[in-house]
Homo-oligomer: A and B are copies of this chain.
Amino acid sequence: MTSVDIIKAPTNDPGDTSPVETVKAAGYSTARVIAIVGKTEGNGCVNDFSRTLSAAVWEPSLPADAVTVFSGGTEGVLTPHVSFVVADDTPHPGFDRGLVAAAGRTRTFAPQEIGRRTQAREVRDTVAGLMAALELAPEDVHLVLVKCPLLTSAKVAACRAMGAEPATSDTYESMAHSRRASSIGIALALGECAEDEVEPALAGTAEVWSSRASASSGAELDDCHVLVLGTSTRAANPLRAVHASMRDAIDVETVNGLLDQVRAQDGTVVQVFAKAEADPSGTLRGQRHTMLTDSDLQSTRHARAAVGGLLAGLVQDTAIYVSGGAESQGPPGGGSLVIVYRLPQP
């Protein structure tokens, strides 16, 4: 059970490690970092080497068991930044609970396992293990963040050379398969998906999702990085979180509903974690959108830009975590939304 603080800092570019100074200025050593969660300014797709660069520059300076989660794509108004989840053992008198976190990794996946049942199960087990370590019941979990692998041309070829067939041979689509498998794993761990729903959920024929799942794919790793955030009465600190599912990309009501909860407690928003996607029907509230027919610009880029613009406006902050591709992370066309906030000193 680790009580945590969250420190956020902008970056000058994906190779910029100067935010380490912000961590230190807040009174923490990098040895206390449990996870770094960043938005980098690549395309957020298969060939996004901004994520790889960030992972390469950060990993040597963080503890070996810390995880990195870099999500590419700061379309529109979004600001590249990093958020550190750090272990906070400062006493915070006056609080009866607090935000807690733990991070871990699954094993490495063979190419043919990506986007499939095995990935879902391994994520489930890792999440379950982290929840157990934190002594968190499912209802106390606010966010499970997963960074998961994708299929490159080389992995597709390696797969076939082994006589196996990958989940897809389309590299961009493999990102969606991987996010979906991870999210189903999260839903399993949180009791939001039954075992017999796994296959239809993976096939996209059963609508299974978790409003606390946030999965993003990348070529920079072969396993899954997992971060669990929850609130626990075993900790005492001023951080809290609320979560919900945006029903679609313009669901202002849900966003304002969460923000109202924060304001009702005099809270200050620390960070927003949102998933966004193009509604797979090609329409949004019955009106046509063009995100799925734009061959110049992947739909995840469209979705991040639009939902990022909305959320940045509503919270009046552009350094928020908006990630594209919300398969099983909310209803089709919607996505999970988690707001971490800080209570005033009592």
- Binary contact readout A3-26 vs B (1 if CB under 8 angstroms, 0 otherwise): 000000010111100000000000
Interface residues on A, range: 35 or more
Cβ of A270 within 8 Å of any chain B Cβ, yes or no, is no
Interface centre among A76, A249, A291, A296 (most CB of B within 10 A): A76
> Can you tell how many copies of this chain the complex includes?
4
User: Are A309 and B319 in contact (CB-based, < 8 A)?
Assistant: no
Given contacts A75-B302, A305-B309, contact A53 B46 (CB under 8 A): no
- The chain B residue with its CB closest to the CB of A49 is B50
- Binary contact readout A52-73 vs B (1 if CB under 8 angstroms, 0 otherwise): 1100110000000000000000
Given contacts A250-B309, A284-B318, A316-B250, contact A289 B156 (CB under 8 A): no
User: Are B309 and A13 in contact (CB-based, < 8 A)?
Assistant: no
Besides A15-B53, A74-B290, 19 more A-B contacts (Cβ < 8 Å) are A10-B288, A45-B295, A53-B53, A56-B57, A75-B294, A75-B305, A76-B309, A77-B250, A77-B289, A77-B291, A80-B288, A153-B290, A154-B282, A157-B282, A170-B173, A250-B318, A251-B313, A252-B316, A313-B313
List chain A positions with a Cβ less than 8 A from chain B.
10, 12-15, 40-43, 45-50, 52-53, 56-57, 74-80, 152-154, 156-157, 169-173, 219-220, 249-252, 280-285, 287-298, 301-303, 305-310, 312-314, 316-319
